[in-house]
Chains A and B, each alone.
Chain A
Amino acid sequence: MSTHTPHNAPTTADDDTPLGDVDAERRALIVNATKAFGLAGAACVALPFISSMNPSRSVKAMATIDVPLSEIPLGDAKTYLWQGKPVFVWHRNAEQIAAAQQGDATATMDPAKDADRVQKAEWLVVMGVCSHLGCVPMRGGDHGGWRCPCHGSQFDDSGRVRVGPAGTNLEVPPYRFLDDATIRIG
């Protein structure tokens, strides 16, 4: 501890001059910069590969469908394929609309107003994908709408869930009326 080292005595340790330290620091900096720069580059290379598995332009081009409403008779629903999944378009008659609106009070599992689920009361557009595990529900059940063949969930005249195991209503896809006779889904 008390040993006094003369200022210019040769050091025994590796090359412990201050200059050597700076040099070692600089070396470490260069090597680390190379590592960081290289890793960042490698990460960027991964992006196009990951992205290539996302929907391609041609898949995206088929992302919308136009449905001519004239082909759906009053009171009936038809099924259309949109993005590989079924969409139900139901031309509801006055009786069905009334039932759906009355259901606003009794649909307690996932409460929603029928008026909020349709753009025009006579046209109900919902995904034909059961909110439980993705099966396609069939017309039927005790609530006027659909019943899922897989696990027995039931949906009403507005596509609201009434009997489980499904916990949420049939989803309403994005759509708009191009004119009175056509809707575009997507």
Chain B
Amino acid sequence: MYRTLLAVTLATWSLVSGSFAAESGTYAPQKWSFNGLHGSYEKNQLLRGYTVATQVCLACHSFKYISHRDMMRAGFTENEVATLAKALNMTLDQKLITAQDDATARETFGKIPPDLSLMNKARGGLADYTHALLTGYSEDPEVIKHALPAGLPEGAHFNKAFPGHAIAMPNPLASDDLVTYHDGTKATVDQMSRDVTTFMQWTAEPERIERQKLGLFVLMYLVIFSLLAYLSKRVIWKDVKGH
């Protein structure tokens, strides 16, 4: 029976993992510092991502669940975040809300730009999707014609990662050096995209690192506990006939 059970379990697993993986399979998987059991955020990269997020994204998008004080959870000191907040004329507890009002946004883009706090968890492909989208713009007529034979709708922009390829958002990272990084890193389009994606992963899951660190201890505890319980079970069942 157990062999059959194992076979059924394996078959189930391959079907399940196959169908769940299918959701995220379309975007090139990137290497992210936050992935894996030992994942973490590099403070400099977070700050670079914050720079892009506040100097580029925040022009139209909000991060309505994020305040400067929240960044203390990612390893920033109160003085550091206070300085950052002051530079934006914000208090520590003010959320990062765009200055653009809804009416202007509707007029310019035809829709209100979505909040970015949760974006990395809100699209199939997760962080890989965000990076693919930010680096997926093209103005090459050949590429556009190939993907959209009917042509690009008016006011839309071509993006090879966006479902349907016609996105309302103009290329936010259209050229290198849109921002100046605090640590002298060269602000290429790819670099800015990776940095802001990492920052957005943090805004989506500010608890992630705490979670991953604690999880390891809980798992270790459970393995030891199960082992002890197994020994106890053997000891207690020793006298039962047939065992």
Binding site for B on A (CB under 8 A): 27, 30-31, 33-34, 37-38, 41, 57, 61-62
Nearest residue, chain A, Cβ from B231: A30
Tell me which of B69, B224, B235, B238 contacts A37 (CB under 8 A): B224
Asked whether, in the complex, the Cβ of B229 is within 8 Å of the Cβ of A38, the reply is yes
Asked whether, in the complex, the Cβ of A41 is within 8 Å of the Cβ of B221, the reply is yes
Asked whether, in the complex, the Cβ of A31 is within 8 Å of the Cβ of B225, the reply is no
Per-position binary interface string of chain B over residues 87-100, scored 1 when its CB falls under 8 Å from any chain A CB and 0 otherwise: 00000110000000
Dominant SS among interface residues on chain A = helix
The number of residues on chain B lying at the interface, defined by a beta carbon within 8 Å of a beta carbon of chain A, is 15
The distance in angstroms between the C-alpha atoms of A34 and B226, with both chains bound, is: 9
Asked whether, in the complex, the Cβ of A41 is within 8 Å of the Cβ of B69, the reply is no
The distance in angstroms between the C-alpha atoms of A33 and B225, with both chains bound, is: 9
Per-position binary interface string of chain B over residues 1-41, scored 1 when its CB falls under 8 Å from any chain A CB and 0 otherwise: 00000000000000000000000000000000000000000
Cβ contacts under 8 Å, B69 to chain A? 61
Asked whether, in the complex, the Cβ of A31 is within 8 Å of the Cβ of B93, the reply is no
Binding site for A on B (CB under 8 A): 67, 69-70, 92-93, 221, 224-225, 228-229, 231-232, 235-236, 238
Asked whether, in the complex, the Cβ of B228 is within 8 Å of the Cβ of A62, the reply is no
**Cβ distance B236 to chain A, nearest Cβ, rounded Å:** 7
Asked whether, in the complex, the Cβ of A61 is within 8 Å of the Cβ of B67, the reply is yes
Q: Which 9 A-B pairs have the closest CB atoms?
A: A34-B228, A34-B232, A27-B235, A61-B93, A31-B232, A30-B231, A30-B232, A30-B235, A34-B229
Asked whether, in the complex, the Cβ of A41 is within 8 Å of the Cβ of B93, the reply is no
Nearest residue, chain B, Cβ from A26: B235
Asked whether, in the complex, the Cβ of A38 is within 8 Å of the Cβ of B225, the reply is yes
Assuming the A-B contacts A31-B235, A62-B93, are A37 and B67 also in contact, with contact meaning beta carbons closer than 8 angstroms in the complex? no
The distance in angstroms between the C-alpha atoms of A27 and B232, with both chains bound, is: 7
Nearest residue, chain A, Cβ from B206: A57
Question: What are 19 A-B contacts with C-beta separation under 8 Å?
Answer: A27-B235, A27-B238, A30-B228, A30-B231, A30-B232, A30-B235, A31-B232, A33-B228, A34-B231, A37-B224, A38-B225, A38-B229, A41-B225, A57-B70, A61-B67, A61-B69, A61-B92, A61-B93, A62-B93
Cβ contacts under 8 Å, A37 to chain B? 224-225, 228
Pick from B67, B69, B221, B228 the residue with the most CB of A within 10 Å.
Answer: B228
The distance in angstroms between the C-alpha atoms of A31 and B238, with both chains bound, is: 13
Nearest residue, chain A, Cβ from B217: A44
The distance in angstroms between the C-alpha atoms of A57 and B229, with both chains bound, is: 38
Nearest residue, chain B, Cβ from A40: B221
Cβ contacts under 8 Å, A34 to chain B? 225, 228-229, 231-232
The distance in angstroms between the C-alpha atoms of A125 and B81, with both chains bound, is: 30
Nearest residue, chain A, Cβ from B69: A61
Nearest residue, chain A, Cβ from B73: A57
Extra contacts, 19 of them, besides A37-B228, A61-B69 (Cβ < 8 A), are A27-B235, A27-B236, A27-B238, A30-B228, A30-B231, A30-B235, A31-B232, A31-B235, A33-B228, A34-B228, A34-B229, A34-B231, A34-B232, A38-B228, A38-B229, A41-B225, A57-B70, A61-B93, A62-B93
Cβ contacts under 8 Å, A41 to chain B? 221, 225
Cβ contacts under 8 Å, B232 to chain A? 30-31, 34
